[in-house]
Structure formats: structure tokens, C-alpha cells
Amino acid sequence: MQITLETKPYATLETDALVTYVFEGDDPITGRSADVDKAGGGALKKIAASGELTGKTLELTLLHSPAGLKAARLLVVGAGKKNQFNVAALRKIAGAALRLLKAKSAKNFAFLAGEELSVEDAAQAIAEGLNTGDFETDKYKTEKKDKKIESVSLVGFSDAGKANAEQGLRRGSIIAESQNFARDLINEPSNKLTPRVLAEKAQAMAKESGLAVDVLEEKKIEELKMGALLSVAQGGPEPPRMIVVTYTPANAKPGAPVIGLVGKAVTFDTGGISIKPADGMEKMKYDMAGGATMLGAMRALAGLKPNVKVICVVPATENMPGGTAQKPGDIQTAMSGKTIEVLNTDAEGRLIIADAITYAKQLGVTHIVDAATLTGAIVVALANVNVGVFSGADQTWTDKLLASAKAVGEKMWQLPMDDEYREFIKGSFADIQNIGSGKGGGSITGAWFIREFAGDTPWIHLDIAGTAWNDDAKPWLAKGPTGVALRTLVHLVSTF
């Protein structure tokens, strides 16, 4: 799909549809939409007066052969309350418009932006909404729908705003394409995406994007004594990988901060010997969403070129219950030297993240964010609405991330990390145990386990188990992988 800026008057554009949006209120047809309506003899005002068009969030009103326009259709999208309008709302409007028009076999359309946001923010949000909205999960269907939007023109930006709009369009496209790169990886089934294949895909992405990449194979992983990662991998025949992708800015200064992005990549989580129930287990192909999101973020950063060095570390493995699998009660020695009592082999994400964080610190990272589909408990706490955020002692680092989440419109919620929870994972026979001792707070104890390995390094853990996968399609997004947290991470690094 091609997205371009168009400065010709929208009424003269011969296109399959013109899209505009309206706010909820006594008279939704005001501002831009009133201009559109005037040329057409007030049809929209009439529909609004009848109560059919109210401006409620993502209400879709489609008119054919609209008077006064060269466009074949006019699509009016509800934008909700004007005082709640932001980039997230605009992104959804663009995505929902695209998905509706695609379903109606349109090939192209023009999107009329309003003037509520800065030109750059608006263009970026529209580009993001269109690109992420266009993503489909039909890769393995032999009969694909031939419905495809070929091009979209953004209209409504003045000549004076053109440079800023181009800038926003470029940023938004890079970010959304990277989000789709991550979503494509997350959607891959485990027979198509093993740890080795993920590593190959990371290498190809790095090469294409001009990033440095280093993939540790099992021999090297053994040499480095990554006992926690190896303990998870030993349950099946697929060897693990530790994937390292590095972005170095042109003017890198010695001693400057280095951000570490660590992402869990369990390409399939059966639970191991502590095996999961069959019902719904197929979803566990997305247990590598954290790793995919970090790789996607790196892809975006390569295009956006921020001023800070970033090292991405992705531990990749399957979690299988084979004859060589680790068993409950086994004691493992992590790369850091800490001993771990594995009381439940299904709490494997924290094990592999532990070694990845130790390795990232060895590589010189000064600030860490990890993302992982870590716990079912986060779904209980926050459902599929908010990402769970957990902070080490450095709350300023976490506040930066929360501000970035707010700026890009991703919902994130910080949970407590009181010292009392640390007690839950004290080991009986080793330094630490990989699950809490039956007192609830499952997501917090998981985070505390990881924190033990982050030590004093400023660290944030994102539990994306509830938010990385859409069980149902949304009007603006297909069912399946969401790519959540990528936009926040890119914003965090870009503004560091």
C-alpha cells in the first residue's frame, strides 16, 4: 500500500472514497465535515438530524455517489468526544476506515485529516493506523481474498504544513511497518518458527536495516554457562539461540548510556513437565511476542536513527516436555551464578530472561526494559487492556516509559514491587525459586524473579501476556498479534 500526501482540493479527487471524521455532540457536522457537506447540499446534516449519525467512537456512515465530490463514496467515521481526541483515536479511525473500505472492495481512498493535532502527529498517527490496519493474518490461506487497498492519499494538510506532514508520514510508516514485522513473527506457528528460524529472521532484518547482529548457538551458550536458558531448552530437540542486535548511533560517545531491550522468545510453551492443559494451548505460539517486539523496535530504530546506543537481547527456545526435560525440583545455575529451584517448569520465561539480562549487562547496557508474555496472572489483573509495568528501584526510568506510553496512546499500568513480595520467591534449597509460594501476586513474583538478575541496573519489566494477542478482531486491527509496546519503546529510546 502506498501512502502519499495530496495537496489538491479534496472535492476534485477521483477516488473510491473520501474519508472524514466527526465528533460526538449536538451538531456533529461542523468544521471540515461541514465544508464537505456544504458542497453536497447538506446530506450529512440530514442524516445527523435523523439520529443515524452521531459521531460516537468508530461509528461508520457510508454514502454512495456523494453530491459535490468526485469521490465514489463518502465515509464518515465517528471520532467520539472532541476533548478526548488524541493520536490513539486518530490511529483507530484511520485503521477502521481502511478495514471497512477494503472489505467493500475499494482500491484507493483519500483520508481528510482535521486540525486538532499537530500536522506531524496527525500524519504519523494516520500512517500508523493505515499500515497496522492493513495487516492480515491470511499468510497460510491458499485462497486469499483479493481485496487490497493499493493507495491512500492524505488530504487536508496545507502547503505550509507539507514538510511536517511528510516527516510524520515517514515516522509513522517506519514504526507501523516494524510493528507489522513483529506481528508477522508472532503469528508464525511453532513448526514454522523455531529458535533457529527466529535467529535467521533477525539476522536478515539486521542486515537489511544496517544493524549489527550476533547469534549465539548452543556451544557458545554452554561456554557462557547460561544454565537457566539451557534448562528450558533441554526438554526438546530444537537448540536454543541467544540473539543480539545492536544499534550504534553515528556520534556514539564512550561512557554514554546504553539501553538494553530484552524480549522473551519461547517459540512454543507447552509448559514442559508442568504441562499446560490442551484447551487453548495452540495460542502458546505467541510466547515469543516479547522477543519479536524488541526485534521490531530495533528495526524501527534503525530507520529513525536516535542518538543513543541500543542493544537488543532475545533468548529463544522451545519449552518442551521431552525425556530430557528438566523436572520440578531441579536446581539450575544461572549465568550470573545464582542457583534456581525450578518448582514449575511452566514458569520458564523468567529463566531465559534471567540469563539474557545477565548477558546484556555484560555487554554494557546501563538501562534495561524487558518485555515478556510472562504470566497468566496479568490477564486476571489487567485483562487485555493494559500492559503490566514493573519497576526496579529507579522510578525515574519507569516514569519516562510511562510518559512515552501516554504520548503514543498505549495503555500501561504500573503494579507494586514491595519488598514483601520478594520473600515469596526465596528458595528453600537454592538461592531463589521460580514461582511464589502459593500466596497470589503471580505477576509480581515473576517480576521480582527477573529483578534479582537486573540488580542495581535501572530496569523495567513489561508483562504483555494479556495484550500481545487480540482474541477477537477489532474494527481497526485484525484478530491475532498486536505488536503492543513497540511504539512506546521506540518513543522512549527516541526521546532518551
Question: Which sequence positions are flagged as catalytic?
Answer: 276, 350
- Exposure string of 128-163, with b = 16+ CB inside 10 Å and e = fewer, is bbbbbbbbbeeeeeeeeeeeebeebbbbbbeeebee
For residues 245-284, which are near ligand BES according to CB under 6 A? 269
Of 267, 296, 269, 291, the closest CA to residue 280 belongs to 269
Q: Are 369 and 241 in contact (CB under 8 A)?
A: no
Q: How far is CA 55 from CA 64, 392, 406, 443, in A?
A: 19, 43, 24, 39
| Stretch near ligand BES under the rule CB under 6 A, chosen from 91-99, 102-110, 229-237, 367-375 | 367-375
**Residue 101 binds ligand BES, judged by CB under 6 A:** no
| Stretch near ligand BES under the rule CB under 6 A, chosen from 84-92, 97-105, 305-313, 339-347 | 339-347
Spatial CB neighbours of 274, under 8 Å, sequence gap ≥ 6: 328, 344, 345, 346
Q: How far is CA 132 from CA 94, 99, 239, 288, 454, in A?
A: 10, 10, 33, 19, 33
**Residue 347 binds ligand BES, judged by CB under 6 A:** yes
* Amino acid type, 188: E
- Closest approach of ligand BES to the CB of residue 90, in Å: 30
For residues 376-395, which are near ligand BES according to CB under 6 A? 376-377
CB-nearer residue toward ligand BES: 274 or 488: 274
Q: What is the helix (H) or strand (E) element at residue 112, kind and residue range?
A: strand 108-112
| Stretch near ligand BES under the rule CB under 6 A, chosen from 72-80, 158-166, 374-382, 408-416 | 374-382
Of 207, 334, 197, 316, the closest CA to residue 262 belongs to 316
Q: Is 155 helix (H, G, I), strand (E, B) or coil?
A: strand
Question: Among 80, 95, 195, 349, which residue sits at the site for ligand BES (rule: CB under 6 A)?
Answer: 349
**Residue 375 binds ligand BES, judged by CB under 6 A:** yes
For residues 338-397, which are near Zn ion according to CB under 5 A? 346, 348-349
- Closest approach of Zn ion to the CB of residue 317, in Å: 10
When CB distances are held under 5 to 8 angstroms depending on the partner's kind, the choice from Zn ion, ligand BES, none that residue 133 binds is: none
**Bridging pattern class, strands 469-470 and 459-463:** unpaired
**Residue 344 binds ligand BES, judged by CB under 6 A:** yes
**Residue 184 binds ligand BES, judged by CB under 6 A:** no
Residue 465 CA, distance from chain mean position: 12
For residues 419-458, which are near ligand BES according to CB under 6 A? 435, 442
**Residue 131 binds ligand BES, judged by CB under 6 A:** no
Q: Which residues of the chain form contacts with ligand BES (CB under 6 A)?
A: 269, 287, 344, 346-349, 373-377, 435, 442, 465
